[in-house]
Copies of this chain bind each other. A is one copy, B any other.
């Protein structure tokens, strides 16, 4: 019997990709779309690309009624903005649903850090304590049977997968870790803005946000600190690309000693990811285009030396909408329900 799935907040880009992925999934079916908009939208009017792929009775969104959702679904994907997510999650959990939250609300384990980062208190600290951070490659064992999964951010996914093996193998120092990141525009969401007005952003490339103060930085540091067993600081500098999708992070680290070799770096990745279906450790340089539309994370590492000083440069590429959002959410669902993690994703 297929897993019955619901999406709350399907009208954003993440929602679109959840629908797209779930409607191809061999062991899941999509049964419920719920919107918090007053005027309940037909998802096919929001995304004409879904015409002919979503049936009438599914396409017209319904209100967010936890009991009704629970009648028709086993698991619900929350594709709401942060803050809205944690206002619905407790009710959905109470109704017996498993919840995979794609917002930031359950990613930071420390409610005080959440408050500092998002400028308002956490509304659901009880469930926060139970939430599993859903990065299967690093903490797969917590996922089977989990009730609440916090789906990682896009930038943190690419960063954590790239740096964790180097830290766990003690090949790099923890400070400083410089993460120069570049993202496609779907990451900024669906709301029209001057910044992303086509004639403004086309043929463009720019840093954005508060340099060194992006909200994804604490999430990256939380994951890496856990891996390293000590506090890790990062300098995270995001840039915006004139493309739809894809993140590439270029990460600069200092090796622990002068005799670390590039081979050792690769061995650390191989040891960590040899059996991972979605991490491709590559010798050639990655390209966001190679991962676009896929759930893969491509990682390449180089050891280089300037004068006497060696530096490790890691490149990590994902599709921000797939491995950075909807694909990873489905991978998490697969893990929660003990399916093959690749189901619906290859």
Hey, which bits of chain A sit against chain B, CB under 8 A? 13, 23-24, 26, 48-49, 51-53, 175-176, 178, 180, 182, 184-186, 188, 190-194, 196-208, 211-213, 231, 233-235, 237, 239, 241-246, 248, 250, 252, 277-278, 280, 282, 284-294, 296, 298, 302, 304-307, 309, 311, 313, 315, 346
Across the interface, A244 reaches (CB within 8 A) one of B13, B202, B285, B346, namely B202
Interface residue SS majority, chain A: loop
CA distance A239 to B249 in the complex (A): 11
Residue pairs across A and B with Cβ atoms less than 8 A apart, 17 shown, are A51-B282, A51-B296, A53-B346, A188-B199, A190-B199, A190-B200, A193-B197, A196-B197, A196-B198, A196-B199, A197-B197, A203-B243, A205-B288, A206-B288, A207-B315, A235-B306, A242-B243
Count identical subunits in the complex: 4
Across the interface, A198 reaches (CB within 8 A) one of B197, B248, B287, B305, namely B197
Does A204 contact B288, Cβ atoms closer than 8 Å? yes
CA distance A207 to B231 in the complex (A): 30
Chain B residues whose C-beta falls within 8 Å of the C-beta of A288 in the assembled complex: 203-206
Does A205 contact B311, Cβ atoms closer than 8 Å? no
Chain B residues whose C-beta falls within 8 Å of the C-beta of A245 in the assembled complex: 199, 203
Across the interface, A52 reaches (CB within 8 A) one of B231, B235, B237, B296, namely B296
CA distance A287 to B203 in the complex (A): 10
Chain B residues whose C-beta falls within 8 Å of the C-beta of A202 in the assembled complex: 185, 198, 202, 242-244
Does A206 contact B286, Cβ atoms closer than 8 Å? yes
